[in-house]
Each structure stands twice: as structure tokens, then as C-alpha cells.
Structure 1
Amino acid sequence: MIGLTLFLLISILLSWCGTKLQVPFAKQVFIFLLILILGLRHDVGKDYPTYELIYNVPDSVQANAVEPIWHLINYILRYLGFQARGFFFFTSVIVMVCFYKGIKNMSSHFYVSVTLFVLLGLYYESANIVRQYVAISILFCGFHYLVEGKIRKYMIWILFAALFHTSVLIIFPLILLSRFRYPPILLLAALAISFLFGNTILNTLINYVMPSLASLDLYQYGVDDFDAGVSSGVLKLFYNLFACGILFLFMYRPPSKCAYFHILLNMVVIGMILYNTFYLFQPARRLYLYFFTYLILLIPYCAEYFKRTSQLIMIGITYLIFLLFLIKANVGIPYNFDVSFF
């Protein structure tokens, strides 16, 4: 997977050069490449066998646990003669097209955001939690309605995304709260509390709010169950320090070129609070991706704080650090392909 990452980074560079040279459809060709790599994957991600089973055995326990729309989608794909490859390719198209539209509409620098999408591991994670990522990508695509104040239109996107993963119904109130301006010191305090006392808050929620989960002992995950960088806690520490750094910048010098910078900042901070709180409760920890994903939009706007040379240094260092974490998390992990659609 490390070789694939380097290939993607080179492809991003070539696409950027193509755009500079006004080569037609340079961005679209690259996005299609991302769809191919993601859609033709085979046995990539811990949840891959489960989704393959859901597709091939529609009466299985796992299949009965998914949202009704997936039954309809799988039925149509099976009726057309597709094997499970059709499902993975179809969902890859949705995810990548939605992220492409969202980045194109909201990012101040398309290729910086796309590079971060890869280096933050978001691209690879979409190969794992497929249903949730379809919902995440749909919300990301329609997020511009929220920042434009068109709440009713955005609610339609929320309801549409909820068809693909019901967790949207849990997190949408937090998304709506991101519209308001909060004192940076308040956000810093909330972030610090979640970092220092996240496990205590989690145990309180489990024992008093969700006692059924406590009795089943479902939330107990050992740190060794997590990817490299998570089990050691280094990645968690870096995420929090990075978020604090952005908050300090915002506190002393708000950007002038982005009217919705505070919304993106709120989304990332909310994501980090969820990450810290549910660090040892993996199913709920995944909810942070609904929010943390907006870091790929926030970082390019943060570059406005610096002059041109400093921007390149800041972005370069950010790339390097996230690349190192990505390599550590994926070293030795194979990435296989399958083109058997029928």
C-alpha cells in the first residue's frame, strides 16, 4: 500500500501540472483514477468480507442489519448480473464524485485538499467503512448549502445521507451547531477536557446513558486492536496539538478570505472531541470522520496566515508528518485488485 500511496502522490502532481498547462479534464481523469483504484480493490479493509457477504447472501444476519436502501441497490446490481465487484465499484463512484464536488465547491486549493484526502488516510478508510463513507461523502458534497445558510436545502442532504447510514441522525444536530461562532478559548477548553478526561466521560456515558452496552461489554477494545499511531497514542497527541495550533491562529488572527472559516474550524474541533471521547469505543469513534474530514478544507485556508514561502513550508511539513503516520499505519499491508464484474 505504500507503493500505491507514492503512485497517487505522483499522479496528483501530474494532474496539477496538467491543470496548469490547461490540459482538458486533468482533474476529472485523476478522480477517475481514484475511482478505479478504490472500486477494483479486493479484500482491502477489515469490513470488506462483511460487505461481500452482505451482497452475496442477502438473507444473512449481516445483510438484515443494513439500511433498506442497500437491499434495493444490491438487488438491482444482482439483477443486472454484477458480482460483488459491482457493489464496491458503485459505492466508490458515489464517494469519489461527492468528494470531488465538495472539494471543488469549497476548497481554496483543489490539489492541496486532494493530497490531504490521501495523506490523512481518508481515501483508504473509505475502502473499509463503506456505508458510513457513502453518507459522509454525501454530506460533504452538500455542505456548501450549510455554509451558505441554506439550511432547508442542507436538511434534504442530511435526510438523503441518513438513508445510507442511520448514524447521520445521531450527528446532524452537532453539524447544525457548527454554524455558530464560539470563543476560541471555549473550543480550546472543550478540546482539552475531552483529551484529558475522554475515557472517564466514555465510561460515564456507557454506565449511565447506555447501560446495555456496558452489560454486553461491547466497548472494551484493547489498544493493540488499533492501527499503528493509534495504539501508541502518538497520532492522537499530534491531532490534538495540530487542532490547538489552528485554534491559537484563529484566536489572534482570523482569516479574511473565508467567510465560513469558523464553521470548518468548529467541524474539526467537534470531530476531535468525539475522537478523544470515544477513543476506546471504536463504533462511536468512527463518528469523528463526519467532522474531521473537513480538515482537508481547513488547512488550505490556514495557509492564508503565512506568506508565500512560509505557506510552502507549512504545507510541506504537514504533508510530511501525515505521510509518515500513513506509512507507519500501512506498512506491509497489501492492496489487491479484482476486475471480475460478472
Structure 2
Amino acid sequence: MSLLHPYYIIAIIYMLYFSVQEVFGKKVEKKWFWFLGIYLILLAGLRDDVGPDYGSYKGIYIYSDTKEYMDIFRKALHIDGSENVDLEWLFALINKVLLNIFNAPFYLLTLVVAIFAIFFKVEYTEDNTFYPFTFTLFMFIPNFFIGESGQIRQNLGTFIVYYALRFIKERKLWHYLFWIFIGSGIHNVCYLFLPMYWLARVPLNKGVMLLLIITSVFLSPFEVYRVLGDVMNDVSSQSMLVEGFNGYVEESAQRLNGGIGIPEVMMAILTFFLFVFDTPMREKYPYYEYHRNYAVVGICLYFICRNNPIFSSRLAGAFIGFGYILIPNAMYVVSLNMKRAIYSFIIALVIFNFVVFSIFRNIVAGRFTYELYKNHILP
């Protein structure tokens, strides 16, 4: 068993302190959440050779500088250029500008990406829950290590479209389309969110949700996602990053052949909250239905793509991130005793994730331990 670097433990203690305040006291001022955001930017943005994907992104950084600006802009407009750009246009452009114009060291790229990712994360979280510290604490392990400190392209792209949820609420289609365009310029998984402008408002009841989820579980062994072939491969990943991503994955033969693991348990927990608290959430929580619909899409995608750990984590995970916000939000619509029970459950999950992350090879593979973590400015 390995232990996270004290920098991460400080963040956890900070979140826990304000989490108790916001759940059982009064609303915490946003500035304290921004202080957390700035601290996380330093941890993720200025890390030095930390994260299994660190080397892969260094390779992308150098690769981007070999491409011409016109080819990158043609990529943005989906026009074939004289030379293919095998990378999303906006991420390639950011890399190109930093290296070609500023001759910036690689850690400035991770810093720039972390700044934008945390900005969109803070804004999305503040917009969609009364418990931002609790939600961030709940998602911290493993999401911060897989996202801001790992798959930085998908993480940034996903939080851009999370941020764009505000334009679905405001019914501003062109604003939403603009941010989908920007997000897909970072990672093309964002294209999957395009229909959500309409699907987020589709009315669902418990019967329909149950039918959709059961159908997805039934389809799981048949690997129907293979029908889409190269489309799924293009949207989910690039080969240069798969090795780095696998540094996070602790899969067994039993797990891939129908066994039940932590992801299935988490899907069961999210499904439980969907059905048990659906009625009070619809009555008392603004825009609950949007998050519910994202959660249902994510659960269905997970089971349909379950036999492929890349698809089931990257594609489904992008939607499930929306869904998990329902768990702390449920505390807003229940009695005090039930609120205490839900909060205790959330903290138990945080402790469980901490222990599991410490036991599995993830923490060492990512270099997140006291002995391995390095930072360009922090001691």
C-alpha cells in the first residue's frame, strides 16, 4: 500500500472542512472554492513527470510543432490539408503556439490546460450544486488523477461541454454549438454531447429509465458498439495515449469476462439514487432532469461498451461525470436525518476510493506518492 503525497492530502482535508460547513452550516463563499481551484492548478499544472500519460503528451507537444498553421486551421474546418493533422485542431494549435512562438517548456502547456480545466470545473460545479466542496471531494479520487493529472485533453474538453450546460438551460443553441465546437477542438469525444441540447429535456419516468438500463445490460455481451467501427475508435482515443491510460487501469480476466468490479458497483449506486430520489429531486431541485438524462445516457453507454475498458471509461465516463452530481444534490431534497445518512455514505466512498487507489498500482504508476511526485515550483 502506498500513500498519496501530502500535497494531495492537504487538498482532501481542505475540501472535507468546507464540505461539512456547506452541508450542515451555511453556504460557503465562492472565494474559498477558488482558493482550492488555484491550489489544484499548481498541483496538476506544474507537476514534473507525474501521470502515466505525461510522456505521451510530451510526444504530442513535439508532434504539434511539425504541423503548419494552415493545416491546423483546415482541420478545424474539416478540410483536407496538404498534410494530415492526427490531433484535434485546438489542442494542436495551443501546443504549436506555445512551442513555436514562445519556445515554452512542456510544463507551461500542462499549466495552461490546468488553468482552463479548473476554471470550467469551478464554474460548472458552482452552477449545478449547492455542495461544490462535497462534490469535488467525492470526485477527487480517482478523477483528479485521471483527469487534470492524466488524460488532460478529454478532461478539458469534457469540462468545456459541462460548462456549456448553462446554455441548454438558457435555450441558447448557438452558444451551445460554439462551445461544442471549442470542446471538440480539444477532444472529439465532445461531439457525443451535441444531441444533449435536445435529449437533456426529454421527459423520462422510472419505467422508461428502467427499460433503457435493462436493455443496455442485456446488450452488453453482444458488443453492439462494434457496429460503429472506426467512428468509436476516432471518438474515444488515439493509439499514442492508450499505453499511458492503461497505467490507471486495474483490470482482471474475470472483470473483462463478466465479473463485477468497482465500476459496476458505482453504476448500481448511481442507479439507486436515480430511482429512490427521482420524485423529490424533480419537485425541489432546479434542472435535475438534465443531470438525470445525462446519467441515464452514461449508464447505458457504460453497459453497452462494458467489454472495452477504453470505451466504457472514456465514452461513458464523460456522461457519468454529469450524473454523479445527483448524489450530493440528493441531500438538498431530504430530511436532516437522511441528509446525514447520505453524507456519511459519501464520506465512506471517499475513504474507500482513497484506500483502493493506494492499494492498486495506479498511485505508483502515476507517480503520485511522496517519493515519486515532483513539482516545478513546490518543494
Does the alignment reach a TM-score above 0.5? yes
Question: Is the counterpart of residue 74 in structure 1 residue 76 in structure 2?
Answer: no
Q: CA deviation at 1:130?
A: 1.4
Q: CA deviation at 1:51?
A: 0.4
Structure 1 SS opposite 2:64: coil
Q: 1:188 to 1:90 in 2, by over 3 A?
A: same
Q: Is the 8 A contact 1:56 1:84 kept in 2?
A: no
Q: CA deviation at 1:254?
A: 4.3
Question: Is the counterpart of residue 124 in structure 1 residue 145 in structure 2?
Answer: yes
Higher mean C-alpha deviation, range 167-176 or range 151-160? 167-176
Provide the residue aligned with 2:44 in structure 1.
38
Deviations 1:123-148 (A, max 9, x none): 22212221111110111112122133
For 2:165 and 2:338, locate their aligned partners in 1 and report how far apart those are by CA, in whole Å.
30
Q: CA deviation at 1:29?
A: 1.3
For 1:169 and 1:24, locate their aligned partners in 2 and report how far apart those are by CA, in whole Å.
31
Provide the residue aligned with 1:89 in structure 2.
111
Provide the residue aligned with 2:229 in structure 1.
210
Q: 1:65 to 1:275 in 2, by over 3 A?
A: same
Question: Is the counterpart of residue 49 in structure 1 residue 49 in structure 2?
Answer: no
Q: Is the 8 A contact 2:46 2:375 kept in 1?
A: yes
Q: Is the 8 A contact 1:171 1:287 kept in 2?
A: no
Provide the residue aligned with 2:71 in structure 1.
none
What percent identity do the matched residue pairs reach? 16
For 2:331 and 2:193, locate their aligned partners in 1 and report how far apart those are by CA, in whole Å.
29
Q: 1:128-207 counterparts in 2 under 5 A?
A: 128-174=150-196, 176-200=198-222, 202=223, 204-206=224-226
Provide the residue aligned with 2:124 in structure 1.
102
Unaligned runs of 5+ residues in structure 2 are 68-83, 234-238
Provide the residue aligned with 1:9 in structure 2.
12
Deviations 1:204-248 (A, max 9, x none): 332x4428999xxx9xx9xx9873488463213312321221232
One-letter identity of the residue aligned with 2:293:
N
Q: Is the 8 A contact 2:138 2:349 kept in 1?
A: no
Question: Is the counterpart of residue 318 in structure 1 residue 346 in structure 2?
Answer: yes
Unaligned runs of 5+ residues in structure 1 are none
Q: Is the 8 A contact 2:131 2:328 kept in 1?
A: yes
For 1:257 and 1:197, locate their aligned partners in 2 and report how far apart those are by CA, in whole Å.
34
Q: CA deviation at 1:259?
A: 3.0
Q: CA deviation at 1:326?
A: 4.4
Question: Is the counterpart of residue 65 in structure 1 residue 86 in structure 2?
Answer: yes
Q: CA deviation at 1:280?
A: 2.6
Aligned length: 330
For 1:158 and 1:212, locate their aligned partners in 2 and report how far apart those are by CA, in whole Å.
18
Q: 1:113 to 1:225 in 2, by over 3 A?
A: closer
For 2:116 and 2:353, locate their aligned partners in 1 and report how far apart those are by CA, in whole Å.
27
Q: 1:135 to 1:50 in 2, by over 3 A?
A: same
Q: CA deviation at 1:311?
A: 0.6
One-letter identity of the residue aligned with 2:11:
L
Provide the residue aligned with 2:321 in structure 1.
293
Q: 1:53 to 1:330 in 2, by over 3 A?
A: farther
Match of 2:274 among 247, 250, 275: 247
- TM-score for the superposition, normalised by structure 2: 0.76
Q: Is the 8 A contact 2:123 2:163 kept in 1?
A: yes
Q: Is the 8 A contact 1:31 1:100 kept in 2?
A: yes
For 2:91 and 2:30, locate their aligned partners in 1 and report how far apart those are by CA, in whole Å.
36
Q: 1:31 to 1:262 in 2, by over 3 A?
A: same
- TM-score for the superposition, normalised by structure 1: 0.83
Q: Is the 8 A contact 2:44 2:114 kept in 1?
A: yes
For 2:270 and 2:94, locate their aligned partners in 1 and report how far apart those are by CA, in whole Å.
39
Question: Is the counterpart of residue 114 in structure 1 residue 143 in structure 2?
Answer: no
Structure 2 SS opposite 1:338: coil
For 2:231 and 2:339, locate their aligned partners in 1 and report how far apart those are by CA, in whole Å.
50
For 1:320 and 1:54, locate their aligned partners in 2 and report how far apart those are by CA, in whole Å.
39
Deviations 1:174-216 (A, max 9, x none): 463122111221112211222343131x2x332x4428999xx
For 2:358 and 2:323, locate their aligned partners in 1 and report how far apart those are by CA, in whole Å.
21
For 1:85 and 1:236, locate their aligned partners in 2 and report how far apart those are by CA, in whole Å.
32
For 2:301 and 2:354, locate their aligned partners in 1 and report how far apart those are by CA, in whole Å.
21
Q: 1:248 to 1:273 in 2, by over 3 A?
A: same
For 1:213 and 1:136, locate their aligned partners in 2 and report how far apart those are by CA, in whole Å.
17
Q: 1:213 to 1:301 in 2, by over 3 A?
A: closer
Provide the residue aligned with 2:356 in structure 1.
328
Q: Is the 8 A contact 2:153 2:186 kept in 1?
A: yes
Match of 1:260 among 287, 301, 310: 287
Higher mean C-alpha deviation, range 149-158 or range 263-272? 149-158
For 1:253 and 1:269, locate their aligned partners in 2 and report how far apart those are by CA, in whole Å.
18
Q: CA deviation at 1:23?
A: 8.0
For 1:167 and 1:24, locate their aligned partners in 2 and report how far apart those are by CA, in whole Å.
30
